[in-house]
């Protein structure tokens, strides 16, 4: 028998957390997919955050 506990809740990240994750993805030797896996987010989500980061950067 398999117990179904329900859908996993999404984690909401602060703007500061997102910026830190995005900046980590630009570090030498890091890839988007690696950083995304380390933080439990989809690579496509991290690509979106990177795009937003560049739009908001001075």
Q: Given a cut of 90, is residue 9 above it in pLDDT?
A: no
pLDDT at 10: 75
Total of domains in the chain = 1
Q: What is the pLDDT of residues 18-57, one digit of tens each?
A: 999 999 999 999 999 999 999 999 999 999 999 999 998 7
pLDDT at 49: 97
In a domain, 51, yes or no: yes
pLDDT at 2: 52
Q: Given a cut of 60, is residue 1 above it in pLDDT?
A: no
In a domain, 33, yes or no: yes
Structural domain for 39, as ranges? 15-56
How far apart CA 58 and CA 38 sit, in angstroms, is 28
More confident call, 19 vs 11: 19
DSSP-derived letter for residue 27 is S
How far apart CA 33 and CA 25 sit, in angstroms, is 9
How far apart CA 10 and CA 55 sit, in angstroms, is 25
Whether the CB-CB separation of 42 and 50 falls below 8 Å is answered with: no
In a domain, 28, yes or no: yes
């Amino acid at each position: 028998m398999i117990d179904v506990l329900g859908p996993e809740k999404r984690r909401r990240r602060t703007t500061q957390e997102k910026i830190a994750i995005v900046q980590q993805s630009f570090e030498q030797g890091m890839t988007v997919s690696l950083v995304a896996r380390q933080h439990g987010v989809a690579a496509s989500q991290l690509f979106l955050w990177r795009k937003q980061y560049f739009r908001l950067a001075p």
